Structure 1
Amino acid sequence: MVNSMNKPVLHRDDPALVPLTGNVKVTRQDWLNAALDVLVNNGASQVKILTLADRMGVSRSSFYWYFKSRADLLDALLDHWQSRNTDALIRQSALPATTITAAVCNVFHCVLDARLFDARLDFAIRDWSRRSDKVRRVLDHSDRRRVDALAAMFARFGFPDAVVRARVLYYMQTGYDDATLAESLEERIAQVPAYLYVFTGQHPQPGEVEALAAYARAASDDE
């Protein structure tokens, strides 16, 4: 849609509200994307309205078309993180699988595909939680949801120690990512069968690791 000046009309999130015209050049998602970039690279303390406006070359007044305040933007960042990362891990753990090793491979998609699960954002949230009790509570709740989902995955396959295995898988992977080991993709893939055995006590079935490897290589090519 264009206006009488043949300029794009930007709509507010609520379609019942008046379209944005004039000097408004960015959308709500633009503000959120800029804030996410600052959060990941510089920390939550640097997520400031004026800083974001300068980065995008717009007036900070346009910020208030989409957010009530800086606190509202910070809440939106937390919501985005939960829908991006926490919900993705929960979905992957609930996918149909014929074996527990195949189910864990589904979860490994989160580790291998940044489009599915943003590890850098996860660590930015964890860093933020060290300075915010509110964020700490949100993070703790998210961690519980993730572990519960993994425990449910193990329980589907009859593991009596499902919660313990879920914790081992989840917190080992969190620490593994934090270590930022200098491993190539092929090195990581080569270790998958052993990791699957450690996590599940079972060896992967033929084709499971190969399918995961194919997914990982395709995700790497798309980055």
Structure 2
Amino acid sequence: MDGSSPRRRLTADDWTGAALQAIAEGGLDAAAVEPLAKRLGATKGSFYWHFSNRRALLDRTMETWEKVHTDAVIAATSAAPAAPERLAELLEIVFGSIGEPLELALLAAVDDPSVGAAVARVTERRVDHVAGLYRAAGLDEAAARSSAVAAVALYLGHAQLAAAAPSTLPEGAAWTAHLTRLGELLAPRP
């Protein structure tokens, strides 16, 4: 024996996790089979054990992104006791992750069928969820939908600012005050 420990067998989740990280760091092109294999210290054979092709990897990667970045947020904000607290919780969660580049990398790659379909589906789910929070707070259907679209757009705009011009966003106590002001702007007004 050479004293080295046996390598752990990679799972499909290892590949999708590496793909998400690669997309965040280098865009969709970074989630190619060979660079991912190198990143994971694996062979292309390991990839093909789990996926028939890159499209299958991207489809599964987008499912993973949806679970982690949408399903989990929806579950967390559905647990708060009342609609205003749910909106406040949502604001805290999503604006707390503003500096993460993955969302913008995916938005930049919506021309890809897997990414475009997932981004469209996730965006609609997010708007629907936020609209539900506004309806629970007393807004009618049209006002809830309009407020939800504005809230999601505000989030995406902040994500763009964080990526393109991070110095435009406040830091520290000023960021906390900024979040409070956003909460006031986004508060339901029946």
Q: Which protein has the bigger helix share?
A: 2
Percent of aligned pairs sharing the same letter: 22
SS in structure 2 at match of 1:87: helix
Q: TM-score, normalised by structure 1?
A: 0.70
Is 1:103 equivalent to 2:103 in the alignment?
Answer: no
Separation of aligned partners in 1, 2:67 and 2:25: 20
The correspondence for 1:66, drawn from 47, 50, 53, is 50
| Contact 2:20 2:65 (8 Å CA) reproduced | no
Is 1:34 equivalent to 2:14 in the alignment?
Answer: no
Q: TM-score, normalised by structure 2?
A: 0.81
Where does the alignment leave 5 or more consecutive residues of structure 1 unmatched? 1-5, 11-24, 203-223
Letter paired with 1:63: F
Separation of aligned partners in 1, 2:129 and 2:159: 20
| CA RMSD in angstroms, aligned pairs only | 2.6
Separation of aligned partners in 2, 1:118 and 1:32: 21
Is 1:171 equivalent to 2:158 in the alignment?
Answer: no
| Contact 2:15 2:36 (8 Å CA) reproduced | yes
Offset at 1:58?
2.4
Q: Larger relative contact order (C-alpha < 8 A, sep ≥ 6)?
A: 2
Offset at 1:146?
0.7
Offset at 1:153?
0.6
Q: State the match for 1:187 in structure 2.
A: 174
The correspondence for 2:28, drawn from 31, 44, 58, is 44
Letter paired with 1:142: V
Where does the alignment leave 5 or more consecutive residues of structure 2 unmatched? none
**When the two structures are aligned, how many residues end up with a matched partner?**
180
SS in structure 1 at match of 2:109: helix
Separation of aligned partners in 2, 1:71 and 1:85: 21
Greater Rg over alpha carbons, structure: 1
Separation of aligned partners in 2, 1:149 and 1:72: 28
